[in-house]
Chains A and B, each alone.
Chain A
Amino acid sequence: MCDYRNEFPQLAREVYGRPLVYLDNAATSLRPRSVIACWDEISSVRTANLHRAVHRVATEATEAYEAARDAVKTFINAPEREEVIFTSGATHSINLAAWSFGEAFISEGDEILVDEAGHHSNIVPWQMLCERKGATLKVLPVGDDGAMRLDLLPELLSPRTKLIAVAHVSNVIGLVNPVRKIADAARAVGAKLLVDGAQGVVHQHVDVQALGCDFYAFSGHKMYGAPGTGVLWGRRELLEQMPPMFGGGEMIQTVRWAGTTYAPLPRKFEAGTQNISGTPCFVPAIECLRSMKQDEGIKERVYRELMSMTDVRLFGTTEDLSTKVPVFSIAVEGAHHEDLALILDKMGVAVRSGQMCAEPLMDRFGVTGMLRASFAPYNTMQEAEYFLTSLRKAISMLK
């Protein structure tokens, strides 16, 4: 397990003279040498515009980029490579889906259902769509344990429900949502399902066909890949009917003053010069992700300890830890999340504090923010123990 650690150069650094304990992986994961080398190699000797030119380097750059599409197709078991659209990240992916799907399929009085534990990126684009089209946004709530209230789904769905947008795994709660069941419920009323997989791809084996969803969105930077890269997968039948969000180079078939026709998938949705260095990094990033395994013992240890600490409230609890990923958000009675994060930082522990891009969820639980520690397979049991000890010390300093 510790073999992984040598692959991630940042794990060797210190902060304030202490070894860095990086537990903010749910926000941005670290990058292995293979990804850094991929970026470096393309930037150094394979830089050219993709798809357009006939010269040698352009061909090589295009091959590297399209190899990433094949790798992603296999990674998520997409039926077709042309259904894999490269974006700048999950936020871009969801905005693209919301805009283009909305143009094609949403009209006044339609309904869109989002999940209460969703990231702002899977809430706000749908609010914007509803405002633009006069549609109604509905919310699928979570229970006190943080689990999605699936029992409320039947009454929230109607023949007017056009789309359901949920997270595969909540970035705050860390619970795996029952996507397959939601997909079945969506299909029963003729609604489509978009899944925000930003956390899901990191911790779950994703098979978009088995999940039964219509769209799946994720980012490269949370799965050991390059920042500024992302994917929107969508079913061809839908993507074909959706108009492009951006017009420009590469996305056209012919341009005349009388009108423009669009390129076939996926280029229709990839206007402009692509992320030529970053997107090919999906290949080594996926290899890296597949080669690592999360130590379940660390997850259990941290979960049990946080549950046992007085004054600590852990959000996202479950009897069955196989449904929880190692993302732990807490609130501490009498200690502000920001104070805790500042003190932990000075102890060398990088954690996240604040609203975690999920303000409605903070309101739901009646807190102004939370403290989140999120683990990756390269984190060790020793680091987990150091985090728990440091947390106890920080709490005692503040009380």
Chain B
Amino acid sequence: MTLKEKQQEIIDDFSLYEEWLDKYEYLIELGKSLEGLPEGKKTEDRLIKGCQSRVWLDCEKRGGVLVFAADSDAIITKGIISLLVSVYSGRTPEEILADDFSFLDALGLKENLSPTRANGLVSMIATIRSKAAENE
């Protein structure tokens, strides 16, 4: 599945839920099922600034692609990062840098999450992009 196809799949899944609380239920389920990071990897250098909750993002380069793993102490945030991980993990830096991350707008996540949270999302995206740029 290409990056665009994966994004469309998420947009389709999300559109099944009309009520915000149902969307949150869905994100909570995603958050609970995300494997997360072992305690030893929740380090200061993996911590993303700009979130009210704490978010850790781990990035490894394996055979030309970037593999992301992430965790958060807040479950809705963890649900959102699980979406990001499912879209961007296993892609080449070039694929990631070519994307405009607009699928998050299509999900309505940016506008409807609280401002601090939106900042957190922006920080997460910025971190993913900078990891891609470092490894280009």
Q: Is there contact, CB below 8 Å, between A339 and B76?
A: yes
Which of A64-72, A82-90, A208-216, A346-354 lies at the interface with chain B?
A: A346-354
Nearest B residue to A346 via CB reads B20
B interface residues, how many (CB within 8 angstroms): 17
Quick check: is A343 within 8 A (CB to CB) of the other chain? yes
Q: Is there contact, CB below 8 Å, between A347 and B21?
A: yes
Q: Which of A336, A346, A353, A368 contacts B24 (CB 8 A)?
A: A346
Q: Known contacts A336-B75, A346-B24, A347-B21: does B54 contact A368 (CB below 8 Å)?
A: yes
Of B53, B77, B113, B116, which is in contact with the most chain A CB atoms at under 10 Å from its CB? B53
Q: Known contacts A336-B74, A368-B73, A397-B28: does B20 contact A16 (CB below 8 Å)?
A: yes
Q: Known contacts A345-B114, A354-B116, A368-B73: does B52 contact A338 (CB below 8 Å)?
A: yes
Quick check: is B91 within 8 A (CB to CB) of the other chain? no
A interface residues, how many (CB within 8 angstroms): 16
Q: Is there contact, CB below 8 Å, between A336 and B53?
A: yes
Docked complex: A332-382 residues within 8 A CB-CB of B:
336, 338-339, 341-343, 345-347, 353-354, 368-369
**Per-residue interface assignment for chain B, residues 54 to 79, with 1 indicating a CB less than 8 Å from any chain A CB and 0 otherwise:** 10000000000000000001111100
- The 9 closest A-B CB pairs, nearest first, are A336-B74, A346-B20, A338-B74, A338-B53, A338-B52, A339-B76, A339-B74, A354-B52, A339-B75
Contact sample, A vs B, 29 pairs, CB 8 Å cutoff: A16-B20, A336-B53, A336-B73, A336-B74, A336-B75, A338-B52, A338-B53, A338-B77, A338-B116, A338-B117, A339-B53, A339-B74, A339-B75, A339-B76, A339-B77, A342-B76, A342-B113, A342-B114, A343-B76, A345-B114, A346-B20, A346-B21, A346-B24, A354-B52, A354-B116, A368-B54, A397-B24, A397-B28, A398-B28
- Chain B residues near A (Cβ < 8 Å): 20-21, 24-25, 28, 52-54, 73-77, 113-114, 116-117
